[in-house]
A and B are shown apart, each in its own frame.
Chain A
Amino acid sequence: MFDGKYAEFIVPAFAITAVVFAGMVAFSLNHARRWKRRFEDFDRIGPDRAGGDRP
C-alpha cells in the first residue's frame, strides 16, 4: 500500500495527470459546445445577430 514514501514525486505525477485530463475534457467539450451553438445561432437568427463569422 502507498504510505507516502517518495510522495514528492508520486503526488505531482498524479496531480499533473489529473490537471491535464481535466484540461483536455474542458477544452474539448467547450470547443464542441461553442461551435455547435454558433452554428445553431446562424441557422436560427442569421449572421448579424449571431455575432459575425467568428466567435
Chain B
Amino acid sequence: MSWAPAFLSNPERFMAFSRWAAPMFGAIAVILGLVGLWLGFSVPDDYQQGQTVRILFIHVPAAWMSMFAYVCLAGASFLALIFRHTLADAAAQAAAPLGAAFTFLALVTGALWGRPMWGAYWVWDARLTSVLVMFLIYLAYMALRASLDDEAKAARAAAILALVGAINLPIVKFSVDWWNTLHQGASVFRADGPTLAPVYLWPLAFMGLAYVAAFGSLWLVRIRGELWRRRAEAAAARAARG
C-alpha cells in the first residue's frame, strides 16, 4: 500500500490519470448499463415478484453503491486525517454527494418495490432504518463541511464524522442476519454462493458493474472539480495578499 499515499500526495499525477480514466469509466458504464437494461427487461417474470423483479436490477446496485461510496468516503477521510493529503480530502468531499444520491436511489426504488410486494412503502426494520441512518450521515457530512469557513477545520471535523459514521456500515450489511427483518437476507454475496437464479444474476451483474463504473467516473470528475476549486481559491488568496 505504499503506492497509495505517494499517489494521493501528487495531484498532478492524479489529474493526468483522471483526464483519460473518467471518460473511459463513463463509456464503460453506458455500455454495461445498456446491456444490463436490455437483459433486465428481457428476463421472465419472477414466480413470486412478477414484473417488479425488474426494480431489483436498479435497486440492488444502488444499495451496493451506497455502501461502497461510504467505504471510499471513510477510507479517504482516514488518509486525509492521518497523512493530511489534499487529494485524499478532496476524494472524501467528492464521494459524499454521490454516496448520498445512491443511498437516496436505494431508498426510493426499494420503497417502490416494497409497496406491491410487502404492501407498504416503508417499514422500520433494521435494514431500511440503518440505510436511512447512512443517508442522514451523508447529509450531515456535507452540511458540516459547508457550515465551517475554515477549510482545514471543516475537513478534520467531517473526516472524524465520516469515520465515526463507518460504525453503521457493518450494521447495514449484517442487519438482516442480526435481527429478524422484513427485508430479505443476502442473496448474491454469500459464503455458499449466490441463491439468485442465473437468469436474474446476469442483468444484476451488468447493472452492478455499470453502477461501479459510473461511480468511478463521476468520483474522478468531482475530485478534479474539487482540485480546480482549491487551486482557484488559492490563486484568489494570493491575489488578495498582493
Which A residues fall within an 8 A CB radius of B? 1-3, 5-6, 9-10, 12-14, 16-17, 20-21, 23-25, 27-29, 31-36, 38-39, 42-43, 46-47, 52-54
Contact = CB atoms under 8 A, between A and B. Distances in A.
B231 A28 contact: no
A46 B239 contact: yes
B121 to A, nearest CB: 10
Interface string B33-66: 0000000011000000011101100110010000
Contact of A17 (B109, B225, B226, B229): B109
Contacts of B222: 28, 31-32
A6 B51 contact: yes
Contact of B235 (A25, A28, A42): A42
Interface of B: 41-42, 50-52, 54-55, 58-59, 62, 97-98, 101, 104-105, 108-109, 112-113, 115-116, 214, 218, 221-222, 224-226, 228-229, 231-233, 235-237, 239-240
A2 B231 CA distance: 50
Q: Is the interface of A mostly helix, strand, loop or mixed?
A: helix
Nearest to B104: A20
B192 to A, nearest CB: 30
A20 B54 CA distance: 18
Nearest to A51: B236
Given A32-B225, A54-B236, A16 B105 contact: yes
